[in-house]
Structure 1
Amino acid sequence: MSQHTVTEADLHAYVDGFLSEARQREVVLYLAERPEEQARVQAYRAQNEELRALFRPVLDEPVPPRLKSGLRSWSERYGRYAAALVIALAGGAGGWVLHGATQTNPTLAQFNGGVAPLKVSTLARQAAVAHSVYSPDARRPVEVSAEQEDQLVAWLSKRTGSPMRPPKLGKLGYELIGGRLLPGESGPVAQFMYQDGLGQRLTLYVSTDQAQNKDTGFRFAQEGAVNVFYWIDGKFGYALSAGIDKGELANIAHAVYEQLDKVQ
């Protein structure tokens, strides 16, 4: 195979260490010429590490004797479902994995007197991971492009069961390039993506399962190079993510909030 025919499957196999030495060298050369693909591979690796960290205590435990006799038949019958579950967790930006991973995250807690509400901190973490996974993608960063905005709005509104309308950020230098549907903690969430004239991207992550969260204040979180401003408004949770200056992102977050508040 040529390095120019590297597929998505090759990238996942490269991250998981399943490629032959020859194919691995080709992928390395391919990535060396494509910084955006390198960023995506790094995001995949980060997700894998989160999965390993969460399940490592369980994986290190010995198999109970009473289960050993039935292990072979169980693996044959249900192994494919277990594999599908792991793929869903990774592909869905770690929705369940991140459910507990941020309970004691000091970065997320610092804007709440040292104690971060689980729902809100999870929202910020999921939004940051989703941004890291999709914003570097040069080929398909969104599922539906801005040229089909009406269809995008109708589709996301139907799937989430709530009206979805992407804010207009043209005056701030960012234009909508499209959006996609993602799995959340207890249902689908929407992600809208914007881009400025220099190619810098930011994403708005919209959850509709925040009805029990009464904390409506603006909060800030940082996950690696990604800054996130997030807030709760009724059942909606909003998280604006980008690799830009905190002050600039705050201004955009306030503009988004004002537009959404007028719509409601």
Structure 2
Amino acid sequence: MTRLIPTEDELHAYIDERLAPARRAEVKAWLAANPQEAARVEGWRSDARRLRVALAGLGEQPGAAQLDLGQLKQRLRQRRQRRWASAAVLVLAIGVGGLGGWQARDAMLASVDLPMADAVQAHRLFAGSEALDIQASDPTQLRDWLGRHFSRVGQLPDLAGYGFRPVGARLLSNEQGPAALLVFQDGKGERISLFLRLPGERYERMPQGQRVDGQLEARYWSHGAYNFALVSAADDTRGAGVGEALRLGL
């Protein structure tokens, strides 16, 4: 499977000319089609160039510490990576449609350290039916799909009592590994989504809670091997009941 969207590490490897020729060509083509990101990468390249010049000057000074440029760049890279990871922005789609993952990074910069920020962003990016990997109007179909990809998850409850029926699902990944977005819709076309993923470094166990993000509300919890979040419209009074049903079932 070809990864169309370069990761943060790959962009740094591209600057350092450490990518394999075939992947380097793919990244170069992607940057040509994304001028804003190309400008950001060029800024990194310029910073690295200035850093090399500065270190060369320091090396000529008597008694100057022999700084290892590679180690210094690695520390700078790690700081950038922690910044992205703390915002939970690596919502990269597995398979077709991975562009949304890169868009998620930029859109999530303002959401640093918010619990299950990736769930809210995944809902915004992928809750439309055209962005789903599978269409599943039967709860059994969705249960079977979920069981194939996440063996340690519980029984997905039927939400028909709250007016919601399955629409489909999308397989995702983030910095922890596989993740999934399951989408449901009522008779009026209102959609909610269930997001699940492995625990992260900051939120190893997700405390049960909720928060409003714009016009959306996220209700989140941990159970078994996964962290979960139900994302719904902030003014939808059914959110509490649906969230409790999912929490007890999963």
Match of 2:174 in 1: 184
> SS where residue 64 of structure 1 aligns?
helix
Deviation at residue 173 of structure 1 after TM alignment? 0.6
Q: Percent of counterpart pairs with the same letter? A: 26
> What secondary structure is seen at the aligned counterpart in 2 of 1:221?
strand
Q: Mind listing any 5+ residue stretches in structure 1 that lack a counterpart? A: 1-47, 68-84, 109-120
- After TM superposition, the score normalised by the length of structure 2 is 0.54
1:64 is aligned to 2:49: yes
Give the Cα–Cα distance (whole angstroms) in 2 for the partners of residues 134 and 202 of structure 1: 11
Q: CA RMSD in A?
A: 4.0
1:132 equivalent in alignment to 2:124:
yes
Instruction: Name which of structure 1's ranges 58-67 and 244-253 shifts more when overlaid on structure 2.
Output: 58-67
Letter in 2 for 1:91: G
TM norm structure 1:
0.52
Higher helix share: 1
Moved over 6 A (4+): 85-89, 93-100
Q: Which amino acid aligns with 2:220?
A: Y
* Offset of residue 60 of structure 1: 9.8
Q: Matches of 2:217 and 2:156 in 1, distance apart? A: 20
Deviations 1:76-113 (CA, angstroms, capped at 9, x unpaired)? xxxxxxxxx99878533767779986445xxx4xxxxx
1:57-136 residue pairs with structure 2 within 5 A?
59=44, 62-65=47-50, 66=52, 91-92=100-101, 102-103=111-112, 108=114, 121=115, 124-135=116-127
Q: Separation in 1 of the partners of 2:214 and 2:146?
A: 29
- Summarize the alignment of residues 1-264 of structure 1 with structure 2, pairs less than 5 Å apart: 59=44, 62-65=47-50, 66=52, 91-92=100-101, 102-103=111-112, 108=114, 121=115, 124-135=116-127, 137=128, 140-147=130-137, 152-163=142-153, 165-209=155-199, 213=203, 215=205, 217-245=207-235, 247-260=237-250
When Rg is computed on C-alpha atoms for both structures, the one with the higher figure is 2
Contact 1:174 1:195 in 2 (8 A): yes
Q: What is the CA-CA distance between 1:159 and the residue it aligns to?
A: 3.4
